[in-house]
Amino acid sequence: MKSTSADRRIRDLRPTKHSVDTWTPIDVLVEEERTAERGVQPSITVFLAGRECPFTCVFCDLWRQTLDGPTPAGAIPAQLDVALRRVGSVPPGAGIKLYNASNFFDPRAVPVADGPAIAERLAPFDRVTVESHPLFVGPAALEFNSLLEDRLEVAMGLETIHPRALPRLNKRMNLADFDRAADLLRRGGVGVRAFVLVGAPFVPAAETVEWAVRSVEYALDHGAEVVTLIPVRAGNGELDRLQREGDFVPPILAQLEEALERSLALERGVVLADLWDVEGLAACRDCGPERVARLERMNLTGRPEEPVGCPQCRV
């Protein structure tokens, strides 16, 4: 993909990249997650080391743990072997998420020849989730779903439907691209998961929650069964520049809480809050842990709870 001046500016502002091992997964998590069928099942997330995404979104920090060149053949199956040894026995009904900080259907990130070996290792799982930019979603996704015997779910970043913000994210995607990809997946029997940003750059801070909820509704309207709300985290260089210029205001915990509450009130699909490093949003030491625990419970039950009262704050 041809680099643009925006790509180069964003890359020039990046902090130092982390070193990763081609043959070892970055991390493996075992959690419980509510599914599209409304049940709670064991969920294993494998953070794979692979080629960096060719898109240069202004909000992304996933490039920190990627390879400098293409992913070598055999690396992803080898990483899965390591991950599954760490997990031990796979719990009944478990799902697995393979997040490679890129696009699963980019052949430079996941070599096509490795597809059968990857599918073989995923045989014990009821549901397999991978991530991809909508522009990489095509026949390869349907072919991989066939290898998995119709157990595939593809997670795509919708980010925001704000009409002025989305074109400025440098994602090189419009809503029609998301719609096309989601429709192709659904018609091919593939599940759809969407990511929505809370605190997207270029969205006025006072409208953060409103546009997050609107974006959740849009994703559900266009075939997503699961939508994850992701608070935008500063620190990638470009976001810090945008913050100085007034085009980005980091979200606060109260906004993530309200976005989840209002999304659950829709009583549609499965809506989850991404709680990775959420403690960084919990500025108040008195109520922060209890509020994070509340979000964890809401993720599992799908039911809003009364807000946590705090004599010190409500931020």
Q: State residue 170's pLDDT score.
A: 98
pLDDT digits (tens, 9 = 90+) for 130-186: 999 999 999 999 999 999 999 999 999 999 999 999 999 999 999 999 999 999 999
Lowest mean pLDDT among 51-65, 73-87, 214-228, 278-292: 278-292
| Spatial CB neighbours of 18, under 8 Å, sequence gap ≥ 6 | 64, 65
Q: Is the pLDDT reported for residue 315 higher than 60? A: no
Q: State residue 279's pLDDT score.
A: 85
Lowest mean pLDDT among 32-46, 47-61, 101-115, 196-210: 32-46
In terms of Cβ atoms closer than 10 Å to its own Cβ (0-12, 13-18, 19+), residue 236 is buried
**Could you give the C-alpha distances from 51 to 46, 75, 307, in angstroms and in order?**
15, 11, 42
| Averaged pLDDT for residues 221-246 | 97
Q: State residue 280's pLDDT score.
A: 86
pLDDT digits (tens, 9 = 90+) for 54-102: 999 999 999 999 999 999 999 999 999 999 999 999 999 999 999 999 9
| Averaged pLDDT for residues 261-280 | 95
**Could you give the C-alpha distances from 238 to 14, 59, 245, 298, in angstroms and in order?**
7, 7, 11, 32
Q: Which two tokens stand for residue 270?
A: 């499965």
Q: State residue 218's pLDDT score.
A: 98
In the block, tokens 């915990």 appear at 253
pLDDT top residue among 286 and 110: 110
Q: Is the pLDDT reported for residue 307 higher than 70? A: yes
Q: State residue 275's pLDDT score.
A: 95
Q: Is the pLDDT reported for residue 117 higher than 70? A: yes
Smallest CA-to-CA distance from 177 within 194, 189, 191, 190 is with 194
Q: State residue 282's pLDDT score.
A: 80
Give the Cα separation of 98 and 119 in Å (integer): 12
Q: Which CATH superfamily is domain 5-301 in?
A: Aldolase class I (3.20.20.70)
Q: State residue 66's pLDDT score.
A: 95
Give the mean pLDDT of the chain: 95
Percent of the chain having pLDDT more than 70? 99
Q: State residue 39's pLDDT score.
A: 87
Instruction: Name 231's bridge partners.
Output: 198
8 A C-beta contact, residue 14 and residue 57? no
Q: State residue 1's pLDDT score.
A: 67
Q: State residue 24's pLDDT score.
A: 98
Q: State residue 314's pLDDT score.
A: 56
